[in-house]
Amino acid sequence: MPASPIRKLTPYADAAKKSGKKVFHLNIGQPDIETPDTMLNAIKNIDFKVWAYTPSQGNASYREKLSTYYNKLGYDIRADHILVTTGGSEAITIAIESCLDPGDQVIIPEPFYANYNGFACMAGVEVTPIPSSIETGFALPEIAAFERVIGPKTKAIIICNPNNPTGYLYSLEEMEALKELCLKNDLYLFSDEAYREFCYDDNTFISPMQLEGMEKHVVVFDTVSKRYSACGARLGCLITKNEEILEAGLKFAQARLSPPAVAQIAGEAAVDTPQSYFDNVIAEYTERRNLLVAGLNKIPGVYCPNPGGAFYVVAKLPIDNADRFCQWMLEAFEYNNQTVMMAPATGFYSDTRLGEQQVRLAYVLCLDDLRNALECLEKGLEQYPGRTQ
């Protein structure tokens, strides 16, 4: 089971804080945006007398409410196409374990969300990566690269759109190409849509659920964590129109009994969050992205593409090893008694060598903190013993 590149340096960050340093956490997608009042008030107004189990597939009222949200996006689903899960993470594990057997293969464009690798490992499933390039902004690799690795054990492709860790937003043309590939080879397409709301520069989000002919092939993972800045709710869902997947997935859901009751009450209320909330959040993240990307590219030797969505960037740094550098920043460096915690990109690649000069940064801090973090990073790169340029 691989260690999390996002959390494995936490002991060094804790030690830095104990020594009196301020640590700017750009390593983890924990937004500082306030959770909507619609969710918080629903929790405050709970009046049940018994904190009971919920149905294994989730509360009927919550699934009905969710279906109205997704159908506004053109997904054309019913409430019984939704399986409520304990976080988006459980949706991923249920999908993998429902659709693939030990020894089967799943293809993932890399760099990819590190837990896909971990969850595949838990299920005895082989991950076959298709590298994307920072030079193209981490666009979808050419379809021929996928076709070269498809074999009799290949069962699924996983995408994250907008992407974690790169922030790349897949185009309609790229989604259509994946659709044709999956139909041609009878593959599932797992679509992680945790960052659906976070698209910038008037770009349009495209889900494979919106594409005709994919009804039996698409499984969507979703979560309230990012959309409503409610990571601690641990509430997600799996969506598919494939009845066999739903039947298998329900067995896993029954084995863990039920998704969280209080979170579903909050999640049901969250669907009524006004659009103005998201408009303000998108404006804030756009400003943060612009500041971070411009600031990174001004630092000598650093290159960072401008992402179309989510709230992450992957940047290439003039360093010998990302793991050593990120640890050094916490353990040995400070500027004005401050330092930066980043996620080494080695953990987002199957071949860690591809990420040795890259880090993922989450722009989940306010603009002033981002400015200070950029200044710390620039000073750290000047002093780092393993600088390569």
| Whether the predicted pLDDT of 190 surpasses 90 | yes
Number of domains in the chain: 2
Could you tell me if 337 and 253 lie in one domain?
no
Could you tell me if 188 and 305 lie in one domain?
no
Could you tell me if 219 and 357 lie in one domain?
no
Strands 154-160 and 188-192: parallel
pLDDT at 90: 98
Q: In this predicted model, which residue has the larger pLDDT, 389 or 375?
A: 375
Could you tell me if 18 and 108 lie in one domain?
no
Tell me whether residue 1 is in a domain. no
Tell me whether residue 4 is in a domain. no
| Whether the predicted pLDDT of 5 surpasses 80 | no
Q: Is residue 2 very low, low, confident or very high in pLDDT (cuts 50, 70, 90)?
A: confident
Give me the residues paired with residue 358 across strands: 316
Tell me whether residue 388 is in a domain. no
Could you tell me if 112 and 19 lie in one domain?
no
Could you tell me if 312 and 360 lie in one domain?
yes
pLDDT at 375: 98
**Boundary (domain end) residue, out of 270, 291, 321:** 270
Q: In CATH, what number is assigned to the domain containing residue 302?
A: 3.90.1150.10
Could you tell me if 115 and 255 lie in one domain?
yes
Tell me whether residue 3 is in a domain. no
Q: Is residue 81 very low, low, confident or very high in pLDDT (cuts 50, 70, 90)?
A: very high
pLDDT at 141: 97
**Boundary (domain end) residue, out of 214, 243, 270:** 270
Place of tokens 């000073």: 379
Could you tell me if 156 and 262 lie in one domain?
yes
- Tell me the per-residue pLDDT of 198-219, one tens digit each, with 9 for 90 and over: 999 999 999 999 999 999 999 9
Could you tell me if 200 and 90 lie in one domain?
yes
pLDDT at 7: 78
Q: Is residue 300 very low, low, confident or very high in pLDDT (cuts 50, 70, 90)?
A: very high
pLDDT at 389: 80
pLDDT at 128: 97
Could you tell me if 253 and 281 lie in one domain?
no
Q: In CATH, what number is assigned to the domain containing residue 180?
A: 3.40.640.10
| Whether the predicted pLDDT of 30 surpasses 90 | no
Integer Cα distance of 109 and 69 in angstroms? 28
Tell me whether residue 389 is in a domain. no
**DSSP per-residue codes, 251-320:** HHHHHT----HHHHHHHHHHTT--HHHHHHHHHHHHHHHHHHHHHHHHSTT-B----SBTTEEEEE-SBS
Integer Cα distance of 308 and 61 in angstroms? 34
Could you tell me if 243 and 160 lie in one domain?
yes
- Tell me the per-residue pLDDT of 227-236, one tens digit each, with 9 for 90 and over: 999 999 999 9
Domain span at residue 73 reads 37-270
Tell me whether residue 98 is in a domain. yes
- Tell me the per-residue pLDDT of 113-139, one tens digit each, with 9 for 90 and over: 999 999 999 999 999 999 999 999 999
Q: Which helix (H) or strand (E) holds 237?
A: strand 236-239
Could you tell me if 218 and 136 lie in one domain?
yes
**Boundary (domain end) residue, out of 270, 290, 320:** 270
